[in-house]
Chain A
Amino acid sequence: MKTHVAIVGGGPGGATAAMFLKKKGIDAVIIEKEQFPRFHVGESMTGECGAVVRKLELEDKMKMLNFPVKRGLTVYGTGGKNSWFVPVMRRGSDGELHPQFTWQVRRSEFDKMLLDEAVARGTTLLPGQAFDVLRKEDGAIGGVKVRMADGSVEDIESEVVLDCSGQATFLANLGVTGPKFRGNYDRQIAIYSQVKGAIRDEGDKKDDTLIFYKSKYHWSWFIPLDDEVVSVGVVIPSAYFQEKNESKRDFLIRELQELNPEITKRIPEVNLAEEVRSVVNYSFQVRQFTGPGFICVGDAHRFIDPIFSFGLYVAMKEAEFAADAIAQYLDGVDRDLPNPFIRHQTFCEDGIDVVEDFVDFFWEHPLAFASFMHVRHFGEMIDSLAGRIYDGQPSPAVSSMRKLLKRDRKKDHQDALPVGSRFHPERAEIGREAYGN
């Protein structure tokens, strides 16, 4: 089979890329090994993630599927004290902030809606598992090899391979990209499930995201999925979890009762509506995530931390940018460069660097974070949280964060050890075999 773009993975990154490509008249084949709907964590959208959904003209579908409307985020400090609320806001053409809303999405439903929509708009869906790449004579990536359900192998030849495989990091595992490094939060565990019958806030705040803080690196999330069910998760250092010596289920139930009085108040009795799952060592960064014939999108090259809900947004936004980069490439732009997608790579990396600085700043400098949020840089903090991390950066707030973190991003070349690893100097490149399929 031949196509312009072979997309590995039919999650939000893959489906979004396919739809933006289609708008430009570029054909794609999505290779997905799982049957949708399937469970996935990461249910909250930033404001700008909602903007991508609107750009795809899916707002009516979102309403039809009754996804909860998120208007903001409230963070509760230790012991339930010092809470602060951040509204979701957009920047108008006047440069001013205006109220906006975005959504919370049960991922099984949302991801299926997106994939169905991509297919309805003309993308081919190939059920199977990509397991290797095809190379052109000059060494560039020229497609993928796919194992079909019946065991047969199909070669998909393409101009570009888009890796939207999420934390499976398809191309990084094959050694197509540069090395994969550990990130700042790789010694954290997230343990999560969904609960029924939680007590919700009233009025407009009913479906907002809540974050409860206990101590450094110890927090939990509360994300409404419908009128009945709420996604909950506890994030802690791995060492703390091991110390407790409990099953994931027991651990989660106890933590929800002990972590912060404000979450206990909302979940006086824990009625689990899903199995209890966990992700360990989730923080990583892949260098050289684009190259001749390939681009990695979202989690396929970098994941920092679930706090502030950037995961879904970064996947969808990078998918949109990747569609632009591919369209230019097919028009002949930068084709002669050793890496034809170098501008896209730098642009995306600069954006997600802002996320990393923001999250690190939150943990390392709580006083300055509070000061920036409440007094000094309210608008810019709102911008960062909404996902306006690509243009006009570093903003004065982000520059000050970097000063406080003693971090100079200008020196952060693609062949250097990433900041996320440098921050913990003992960190090393993650062995490829350890992450192999």
Chain B
Amino acid sequence: MNIESKIEKFILDDLLSGSRKTPIGADESLVSGGILDSLALLRIIAFLEEEFGVTVNDDEVIPENFETINVIKTYIETHGK
């Protein structure tokens, strides 16, 4: 499974507990689009650190870094091990 699919699966299965039936577009806004609230974003960050081994520094915990699945993918690619 590629990075985008893994993130999408985590959001749909774990964060939204299957309540959303349609796929999430790679450029669809997760935060301002109202898909995720800030506590859900915290769980995404924890997921990225565990699943992809990235280290999210304190000063990188801003919504802009996790705005869409594509943005998250870029973040992983530039911050991964």
Contact = CB atoms under 8 A, between A and B. Distances in A.
A404 B59 contact: yes
Interface stretch (A99-107, A365-373, A384-392): A365-373
B58 A376 contact: yes
Nearest to B45: A371
Contacts of A365: 61-62
Contacts of A82: 37-39
B16 interface: no
Q: In the complex, which of the residues B42, B46, B62 has the most CB atoms of chain A within 10 Å of its own CB atom?
A: B42
B42 A374 contact: yes
B24 to A, nearest CB: 19
Nearest to B59: A403
B7 interface: no
B25 interface: no
Contacts of B63: 367
A265 interface: no
Interface string B15-51: 0000000000000000000000111011001100000
Contacts of A404: 58-59, 61-62
B16 to A, nearest CB: 15
A375 to B, nearest CB: 6
A346 interface: no
Contacts of B46: 375
Q: How many A residues touch the partner, as a band?
A: 10 to 19
B62 A368 contact: yes
Interface residues of B, number: 12
Q: In the complex, which of the residues A81, A370, A374 has the most CB atoms of chain B within 10 Å of its own CB atom?
A: A370
Contact of B58 (A81, A366, A370, A403): A403
B41 A400 contact: no
A367 B59 contact: no
Nearest to A370: B38
Nearest to A402: B59
B58 A367 contact: no
A366 B41 CA distance: 11
Nearest to B31: A367
Contacts of A375: 42, 45-46
B61 A368 contact: yes
Nearest to A396: B58
A396 B39 CA distance: 22
Interface in A329-374: 365-368, 370-372, 374
A370 B39 contact: yes
B21 to A, nearest CB: 23
A371 B37 contact: no
Contacts of B39: 82, 370, 374
A81 B37 CA distance: 10
A372 B42 CA distance: 10
Interface string A87-130: 00000000000000000000000000000000000000000000
A371 B42 contact: yes
Nearest to B46: A375
Contacts of B42: 367, 370-371, 374-375
Contacts of B59: 368, 400, 403-404
B61 to A, nearest CB: 4
B66 to A, nearest CB: 8
Interface string A390-407: 000000110010011000
10 nearest interchain CB pairs? A400-B58, A368-B61, A403-B59, A371-B61, A367-B38, A404-B59, A370-B38, A367-B63, A82-B39, A371-B42
Given A82-B37, A367-B62, A371-B61, 15 more contacts: A82-B39, A367-B42, A368-B58, A370-B38, A370-B42, A371-B42, A371-B45, A372-B58, A372-B61, A376-B61, A377-B58, A396-B58, A403-B58, A403-B59, A404-B61
